[in-house]
Amino acid sequence: MDPAASPAEKVRRVNRRKGIGDMTFKQDGGLSRRRFLGVAAASVGAIGAGGMGTSRTLAAGPKTVVRNPLRLPPTLSPAGLSLSAAPGVADLGGGRLSNVLAYNGYFPGPTLRAARGTGASIAFSNGLSEETTIHWHGMIVPPLADGHPQQSVMPGGSYLYQFAIAQRACLNWYHPHPDGLTGKQVNLGLAGAFIVNDSEEAALALPAGAYELPLIMRDAKLDSRGNLSYKAGNSGFDGSLALVNGTRDAKLDVDGALYRLRLLNGANARVFRLALANGAPFALIGNDGGLLASPAQTAEIEFSPGERLDVLVDFRGLTSGTRVMLRDLNSGWDLLEFVITRAVDPGYQPPTGALSTIARLANPVRTRTFSFDGMSRINGQEFDMNRIDFQVPFGQTERWVFSTGGNAPHPVHIHGASFQVQSRTGGRGRLFPWEGGWKDTVLLQDGETVEILIRFDAFSGLYLMHCHKLEHEDMGMMTNFEVV
Ligand code: C2O
Ligand code: CU
Ligand code: CU
């Protein structure tokens, strides 16, 4: 590629090479009735669950925002699942339908849930007009099930993803990973949660059922017809509104009880800094790779694309009618309003003692350094899906050191293993409570050097490391390595 070309132009070239003429959603004159009927059956759940109605708050001034019921996608087992990716429609709020890309007609896709020790067998069919793959971000799966761009599924094609679920309880997620098209497909709607449960977690009796909420936070841009619209900016996609589970200006009626929020930053490029408007702390209990060793109280949590958080929020004792807003302090956006509507308390208690035992990685055999440079390079090279950049011995602990010459945030993500963050120097100069335990994505800001320990002890073969700012990934800030 021409190094002088602007990043946006590079993305356009990738798309032209792939025969995709336009970065925005193809309109075909908007939603014709025929088209709507064609997709309506598949989308009934998405529309029904979100509710066509909106709650109108009594006018308290010109700034009153009509808030929309939070959408909660259905929960499915990944054992023997058929999953499709195809154009669909979703009610982002207010009863107006928007064109999106959807898994099984849902935006976000169905929440997959499975117990450790079981397996996934997912028959995927590609109903898009371009190639795609599915990557199970955070799931430790064999290379051929990992959604590498080499395993691209052509339009009309299908692929069977099969893997054992052998890892500890955690919140993971699934999303497309095709060469140069990931940012667009994720942004237009393709993403879903994948929850793993185990007995260690069950023993803690954490809030469950209606008291456990998977929340996918992201930003979005709408075109003049209200359809999701993707344009890659030079420093990554920058949306103008927030969506939580595909719902704008979301609200949720809750009980005066303890809730478990399973948060995923599903944005292409945006870093969120979460806080509750009433100043109450989050009890942080887990992150990407599952439970932390012990809970931590924190009033603010910053997380970048691809990272997950497991937090408890305590509405016990709040009276009916109380409203608590989950906000993003970076953008000033109101993300999700909790409205306490019932004094019901099922009795969930926050765990006080240890949550889990984290075996520490130690004594690295070697050190590798990676520089995330410009908007498209790691150690000077742009991604080539057919070039293997380095080999990592199976079962050996290594120290990997990440640095950048600028253009952050770079959320660094590794496939095939979880890692333990050791240190951050420069920039923010410290580690945060949500960076303990096991991680698969860590935020690298300008001026920072981040050091991790990692060991690949599940599978050998081809895996990826990349910047999870999806525009950087698509422009080439990704590297292939082989576990041998
Ligand atoms: Cu969530 Cu390789 O990506
Ligand atoms: Cu991944
Ligand atoms: Cu980056």
Q: Please report, for the chain, the start and end positions of each structural domain, with discontinuous segments joined by +.
A: 7-202, 209-342, 367-483
Residue in the block written with tokens 């699942």: 81
Topology of the domain comprising 7-202: Immunoglobulin-like (2.60.40)
Q: Is the CB of 260 under 6 A from ligand 1?
A: no
CA 221 – CA 188 distance, rounded (Å): 9
CA 366 to chain centre: 31
Provide the residue-wise pLDDT of the chain in tens; the chain has 484 residues. Answer: 344 444 445 444 444 444 333 333 333 333 332 333 333 333 333 333 333 333 344 444 556 899 999 999 999 999 999 999 999 999 999 888 999 999 999 999 999 999 999 999 999 999 999 999 999 999 999 999 999 999 999 999 999 999 999 999 999 999 999 999 999 999 999 999 999 999 999 999 999 999 999 999 999 999 999 999 999 877 899 999 999 999 999 999 999 999 999 999 999 999 999 999 999 999 999 999 999 999 999 999 999 999 999 999 999 999 999 999 999 999 999 999 999 999 999 999 999 999 999 999 999 999 999 999 999 999 999 999 999 999 999 999 999 999 999 999 999 999 999 999 999 999 999 999 999 999 999 999 999 999 999 999 999 999 999 999 999 999 999 999 999 9
Ligand 1, closest atom to CA 464? 2
Expressed in angstroms and rounded, the spacing between residue 138 Cα and the centre of ligand 2 is 5
Expressed in angstroms and rounded, the spacing between residue 265 Cα and the centre of ligand 1 is 12
Q: Who's near 426: CB < 8 A, 6+ residues apart?
A: 447, 448, 449
Q: Is the CB of 148 under 6 A from ligand 1?
A: no
Q: Who's near 214: CB < 8 A, 6+ residues apart?
A: 72, 111, 171, 193, 195, 245, 262, 264
CA 144 to chain centre: 21
CA 397 – CA 414 distance, rounded (Å): 15
Dihedral sign, CA of 7, 220, 184, 289? positive
Nearest alpha carbon, ligand 1 atom 3: 137
Secondary structure (3-state) at 462:
strand
Q: Is the CB of 248 under 6 A from ligand 1?
A: no
Q: Is the CB of 175 under 6 A from ligand 1?
A: yes
Q: Which ligand is nearest to the CA of 173?
A: 1
Strands 308-314 and 258-265, bridge-based pairing:
antiparallel
Q: Is the CB of 306 under 6 A from ligand 1?
A: yes
CATH for the stretch 209-342: 2.60.40.420
CA 144 – CA 151 distance, rounded (Å): 7
Q: Is the CB of 412 under 6 A from ligand 1?
A: no
Ligand 1, closest atom to CA 306? 1
Q: Is the CB of 308 under 6 A from ligand 1?
A: no
Expressed in angstroms and rounded, the spacing between residue 175 Cα and the centre of ligand 2 is 9
Expressed in angstroms and rounded, the spacing between residue 148 Cα and the centre of ligand 1 is 10
CATH code matching the domain that covers 367-483, chosen among 3.40.50.150, 2.60.40.420, 2.40.180.10, 3.40.50.300: 2.60.40.420
Domains 7-202 and 209-342 share a fold: yes
Secondary structure (3-state) at 428:
coil
Which element (helix H / strand E) includes 34?
helix 33-50
Expressed in angstroms and rounded, the spacing between residue 424 Cα and the centre of ligand 2 is 22
Residues with CB under 5 A from ligand 2 (ion): 137, 415
